[in-house]
Structure formats: structure tokens, C-alpha cells
């Protein structure tokens, strides 16, 4: 039998807490706008101007002169620099521009073919962080990318568009060569893809970490060329590598419902444990809601969206909240950690007033509204 949802006053308190969260997020956004963007959250390293909002880092380099090139040219006062190259006597280099108003870094104006044959130009944004690579750590790079409709890993790799992580002069991982396991791409909008990739270190020599955001096509015809790509929301996490036989399980809020367009009444939690059953802190968990149909917007710290990440706390837990979208129905939200076989499965239900009216008509003795999404039935 279905259980009953929490009272209206409980839902109101959740909404009030959410409003408080919105105010805190607004304060964070205002701080970022004042030039302090890149402050790290737990588990995340500071990527200066990772949201491209700093006014001092605005401007453009490249473009203009056939065959021109530049290496690590400061854009404004940095920290992001631009590296670009054209083709002597044939092509001008791309233009690399950072726009604080749009909060994007864009590479545009690439060309790929002429009367003589296929030639390419290219470029990348880059910066060196203040952190050295550490031994026995997992590094996860997360970048949102709008690449003119490139919607999957294969197309991103073939086009030579993406992101790479470096330790000194060595490349730790690059999205154009990484295997599908360490690399994932999630469609966030009509043409925006979140590229997420991880690299596990063993024993390493200390070297400064660096990031590159690139469009470097190789031997592509104009028809296959990505001539413009924009990057945003760049982050880098340094977290624990889960040991063998670790588990990820739901620890709270695993089955619940909410009216369409409203917050779910309970926080959702999951826990990571090692093979001995002990909680594992500082582990990055990716949370995913459905891309279509009934779904939810997820929230954890400053993260918000259909696909977010959260880092386990000292008790090995992540905590997040969710808002139902405007489509009624039942679905699951999935939590996962690469290297851990088990998934955290949250059963969610968005309901409409019409569904409630039908349910109450069919169950006149029931007080309140159906809660547990795991009991989804014909009212969806």
C-alpha cells in the first residue's frame, strides 16, 4: 500500500530552505562577478577564472594574419592564455576570445581546406595551476562545451575538440584520446555537452597541474570541421580512488514524490563504503536525472542541473536535493562512481493535480496523497 506524503507545512519548510539555498548561491555568484571566481569547493581544486567571469581576463588573441602563431599569449591579465597557429601562406589562425558577460571562452574561425589540399589551423586556451599532481589521487576534469552540435564522445574525439589535463610537460589525459571508461559526455541542452573525464595516478613525481581547452583539427574537410567551439564552467576535482569491492548505496530519500514543478520533500543521500564496510570520504559521485520526460533538477552545493557531481563528506555520504520538472511520471535518479559496480538508485515520482484527483476518486478511504514512487501505477 502506498504511504502518504509529508504535510503541507513540511513542504513549505523545504521550500523555505531552498529559498535560503538560492540566496546563498546568489551570494556566491556575486562574489564570482567581483573577480573571485575559481574558489574551490570540497574536493575541488581552484581553477582561477574557471567560469570566465573575471573582467581582467577578457579579450581576444589570434586571427588576422595568414600564417600567424602565438604560444601562451596572455589574454588580458590572465590567468588563461591563448596558443594559436595558422598555416603559412594559406590560413589565418583562429581567434581565441574570453567573454565575461557570456562567461565563455571561444575558439572560432578555423578553416580546413583550400585548392591545394587539406590543411588545418588550431589553438587552445591554457593555464598552469598552483597545485602539483599528487600520488594515488583521482583527477576529474569537468567542462561544458558547445561545439556546433557535436553530441557524443566519438564525434568529439574525431573532430579534435575537447580538454586535456597535464602534469608539467606530460599529458595525463585528453578527451580526444581517452577511452570511453574514463570519459563521458552528457547532453545538457540543444548543443551543450558536459565533458567529464578522470585520471587515476599511481606514484608520481611532483609537477604543476595544467589545463588546456582545444580545437585542433587534423586533416579534416570543411564539411567535417568544427569551426567554432565555446567552453564554460571548467572544474577540476582531486579525490580518493575507490578501492576494490567498494559499494555505493542509497542511505536516505530513496523513494519519494513531489507535485510537478515543486521541490521533493526530503534530501537524497548515498554512502560509499570500502570492502570492510567503512565509509570512504572525499569520493566524487556523479548524479544523473533523465534527459527527457519526467525528470528533476538536482542540487548539491553550488552544483545545479540534470547532471551534477558531489563529493562524499567525512562520513562517506553525499547529500543533494531535487526539484520536479513540469512533466508527471515515474523515473530514477542514478548515482555512480567509476570503479564501483553498484549504483545508487533513487525512485522519483512527479505527480499532477489531475493524477491526485483520479487517485482519490479511486481510493476514497485514503487520507493525503500517494508518496512512494516505487509503487507507480496507472496514474502516470
Position 35 scores a pLDDT of 35
Residues 150 and 297 reside in one and the same domain: no
Position 211 scores a pLDDT of 98
- pTM, whole model, 2 decimals? 0.84
Residue 79: asked if its preceding bond is cis (omega within 30°), the reply is: yes
**pLDDT, average across residues 86-94:** 86
SS3 360: helix
**pLDDT, average across residues 9-25:** 36
**H or E stretch including 29?**
helix 8-31
Residues 295 and 282 reside in one and the same domain: yes
Burial bucket for residue 160 (CB in 10 Å: 0-12, 13-18, 19+):
buried
Residues 174 and 308 reside in one and the same domain: no
Model confidence band, residue 167 (pLDDT cutoffs 50, 70, 90):
very high
Is the residue at 55 inside a domain?
yes
Q: Compute the CA torsion angle 37, 124, 61, 193 (nearest 10 deg).
A: -60
Position 58 scores a pLDDT of 98
Position 276 scores a pLDDT of 95
Strands 255-259 and 344-351, by their bridges, are parallel
The count of domains in the chain is 2
pLDDT at 372 exceeding the cut of 70: no
Q: Could you say which of 215, 239, 263 is where a domain stops?
A: 239
CATH at 294: 2.60.40.10
Residues 269 and 226 reside in one and the same domain: no
> Which of 2-16, 250-264, 271-285 shows the lowest per-residue confidence on average (mean pLDDT)?
2-16
Residues 210 and 323 reside in one and the same domain: no
Q: Which of 105-119, 268-282, 339-353 has the highest mean pLDDT?
A: 268-282
Measure Cα distances from 334 to 89, 144, 304 in Å. Answer: 53, 20, 15
Residues 100 and 194 reside in one and the same domain: yes
Is the residue at 115 inside a domain?
yes
Residues 233 and 250 reside in one and the same domain: no
Domain encompassing residue 163: 44-239
Is the residue at 33 inside a domain?
no
Q: How far apart are CA 280 and CA 195, in angstroms?
A: 25
Q: How far apart are CA 339 and CA 341, in angstroms?
A: 6
**Other beta carbons within 10 Å of 115:** 5
Residues 276 and 234 reside in one and the same domain: no
SS3 131: strand
Residues 15 and 103 reside in one and the same domain: no
> Which of 29-33, 74-78, 201-205 shows the lowest per-residue confidence on average (mean pLDDT)?
29-33
Residue 29: alpha-carbon gap to chain centroid? 17
Is the residue at 223 inside a domain?
yes
Percent of the chain scoring above 70 in pLDDT: 78
Position 41 scores a pLDDT of 65
pLDDT at 93 exceeding the cut of 80: yes
SS3 11: helix
Residues 95 and 221 reside in one and the same domain: yes
**pLDDT, average across residues 50-75:** 96
- Asked if residue 64 lies in contact with residue 71, where contact means CB atoms within 8 angstroms, the answer is no
Q: Could you say which of 224, 239, 254 is where a domain stops?
A: 239
Q: How far apart are CA 84 and CA 295, in angstroms?
A: 41
Residues 20 and 58 reside in one and the same domain: no
**pLDDT, average across residues 174-191:** 87
Is the residue at 185 inside a domain?
yes
Residue 249: alpha-carbon gap to chain centroid? 22
CATH at 225: 2.60.120.260
pLDDT at 205 exceeding the cut of 70: yes
Model confidence band, residue 114 (pLDDT cutoffs 50, 70, 90):
low
User: Could you give the residue ranges of the DSSP H alpha helices within 135-180?
Assistant: 153-159
Is the residue at 31 inside a domain?
no
Percent of the chain scoring above 90 in pLDDT: 62
pLDDT at 33 exceeding the cut of 70: no
Q: Could you say which of 170, 204, 239 is where a domain stops?
A: 239
pLDDT at 345 exceeding the cut of 50: yes
pLDDT at 16 exceeding the cut of 60: no
Q: How far apart are CA 51 and CA 34, in angstroms?
A: 12
Residue from 325, 332, 331, 329 nearest 346 by CA: 332
pLDDT at 31 exceeding the cut of 80: no
Residues 60 and 84 reside in one and the same domain: yes
Is the residue at 276 inside a domain?
yes
Is the residue at 219 inside a domain?
yes
**H or E stretch including 199?**
strand 192-200
Amino acid at each position: 500500500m502506498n504511504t502518504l506524503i509529508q504535510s503541507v507545512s513540511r513542504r513549505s519548510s523545504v521550500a523555505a530552505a531552498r529559498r535560503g539555498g538560492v540566496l546563498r548561491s546568489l551570494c556566491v555568484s556575486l562574489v564570482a562577478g567581483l573577480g573571485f571566481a575559481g574558489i574551490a569547493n570540497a574536493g575541488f581544486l581552484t581553477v582561477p577564472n574557471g567560469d570566465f567571469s573575471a573582467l581582467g581576463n577578457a579579450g581576444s588573441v589570434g586571427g588576422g594574419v595568414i600564417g600567424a602563431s602565438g604560444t601562451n599569449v596572455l589574454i588580458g591579465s590572465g590567468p588563461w592564455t591563448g596558443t594559436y597557429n595558422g598555416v603559412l601562406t594559406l590560413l589565418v589562425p583562429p581567434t581565441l576570445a574570453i567573454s565575461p558577460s557570456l562567461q565563455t571562452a571561444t575558439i572560432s574561425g578555423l578553416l580546413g581546406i583550400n585548392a591545394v589540399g587539406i590543411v588545418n589551423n588550431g589553438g587552445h586556451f591554457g593555464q598552469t595551476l598552483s597545485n602539483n599532481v599528487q600520488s594515488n589521487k583521482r583527477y576529474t576534469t569537468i567542462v561544458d562545451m558547445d561545439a556546433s552540435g557535436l553530441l557524443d564522445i566519438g564525434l568529439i574525439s574525431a573532430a579534435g575538440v575537447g580538454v586535456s589535463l597535464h602534469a608539467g610537460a606530460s599529458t595525463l589525459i585528453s578527451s580526444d584520446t581517452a577511452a570511453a571508461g574514463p570519459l563521458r559526455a552528457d547532453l545538457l541542452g540543444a548543443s551543450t555537452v558536459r565533458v567529464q573525464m578522470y585520471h587515476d595516478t599511481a606514484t608520481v613525481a611532483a609537477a604543476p597541474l595544467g589545463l588546456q581547452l582545444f580545437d585542433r583539427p587534423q586533416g579534416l574537410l570543411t564539411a567535417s570541421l568544427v569551426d567554432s567551439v565555446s567552453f564554460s564552467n571548467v572544474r577540476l576535482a582531486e579525490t580518493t580512488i575507490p578501492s576494490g569491492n567498494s559499494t555505493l548505496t542509497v542511505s536516505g530519500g530513496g523513494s519519494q514524490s513531489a507535485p510537478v514543478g515543486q521541490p521533493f520533500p526530503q534530501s537524497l543521500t548515498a554512502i560509499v563504503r570500502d570492502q570492510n564496510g567503512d565509509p570512504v570520504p572525499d569520493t566524487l559521485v556523479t548524479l544523473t536525472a533523465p534527459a527527457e520526460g519526467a525528470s528533476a533538477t538536482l542540487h548539491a552545493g553550488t552544483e545545479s542541473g540534470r547532471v551534477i557531481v558531489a563529493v562524499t563528506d567525512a562520513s562517506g555520504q553525499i547529500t543533494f536535493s531535487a526539484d520536479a520538472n513540469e512533466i508527471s511520471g515515474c523515473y530514477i535518479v542514478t548515482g555512480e562512481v567509476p570503479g564501483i559496480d553498484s549504483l545508487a538508485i533513487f525512485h522519483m515520482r512527479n505527480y499532477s493535480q489531475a493524477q491526485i484527483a483520479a487517485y482519490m476518486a479511486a481510493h476514497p478511504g485514503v487520507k493525503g496523497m500517494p508518496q512512494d514512487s516505487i509503487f507507480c501505477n496507472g496514474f502516470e
